Amino acid sequence: MSSKNVVLKTVVFMGSARDITPPWGGGSRLGDGILNWVKHKISNRSSKLGCVCNTDDVEIEITHDITVFDPLVVFGKDGALAESGAEMKTPHFFFKDGEAPPKMNEMAATIRAADCYVIVTPEYNHSLPPALSSMMGHFGGSGYAYKPSAIITYSPSPYGGSRGAVALRPFLSELGCLPVSKLACFSAVGDIFNDDGSVKDESNRQLKQLDDLLDQLEWLTIACMNQKKAYGIP
């Protein structure tokens, strides 16, 4: 059996733009811990996937090269979408070629070059955070097309943001980056992660969700890459 190394260009979208400590205390953004944990886990992940390519058995070793888009950064001062704002005053696909702000063009190019996407988000009012839908919606569906996505949600409640995941599925599908069936929904997330991404309780059963989710994402990503290559889709 031969082997092949594949580095997936993986874009991680953070859903929350919260920047205020709630009246009951804690950090200004509950999701920082799980975001940092996800970044660490994906960046250090190495997995193997077997396939048959031209009748030869091939073992693919998969690693990830990740880029994180955080609404606190992209909508912040000098951010890629600062001029447009979360109101989406000037979406990227409304500009003629070369006329969009340079940082917005760079963000669009990174999204278009990605092989897959991971979304880390809470639910707001049982639905999508506006910062997430605006951040991803600034860019046309052609940049996301034929590439899969994975959904990770979190909440201080017992439901783990799962209602936000339900709302996110059709949004991602309409952008063209269909989500895999597995979900990773983390309840009482403040009891699991420190802000730096370190884990408070390594035995917490919710931690096992991520590997299963990434297994599906990687399988479908390789399948999509093979099909795009076969049909000449960039």
Domains and CATH numbers, the chain: 2-231 (3.40.50.360)
Q: Model confidence at 234, in pLDDT bands (50, 70, 90)?
A: confident
What was the pLDDT predicted at 54? 56
What was the pLDDT predicted at 60? 93
What was the pLDDT predicted at 24? 77
Digit-coded pLDDT (tens) for 49-91: 976 565 567 899 999 999 999 999 999 999 999 999 999 999 9
Digit-coded pLDDT (tens) for 122-167: 999 999 999 999 999 999 999 999 999 999 999 999 999 999 999 9
Amino acid (1-letter code) at residue 59: E
What was the pLDDT predicted at 1? 66
Digit-coded pLDDT (tens) for 88-102: 999 999 999 889 999
In this prediction the pTM is 0.96
DSSP-derived pairing of the beta strands 56-69 and 47-53: antiparallel
Digit-coded pLDDT (tens) for 185-224: 999 999 999 999 999 999 999 999 999 999 999 999 999 9
What was the pLDDT predicted at 51? 67
Segment 10-26 shows an average pLDDT of: 92
Query: Whose structure tokens read 């076969």?
Result: 230
Edge-first strand order for the sheet with 116-121 is: 47-53, 56-69, 2-14, 116-121, 149-154, 179-186
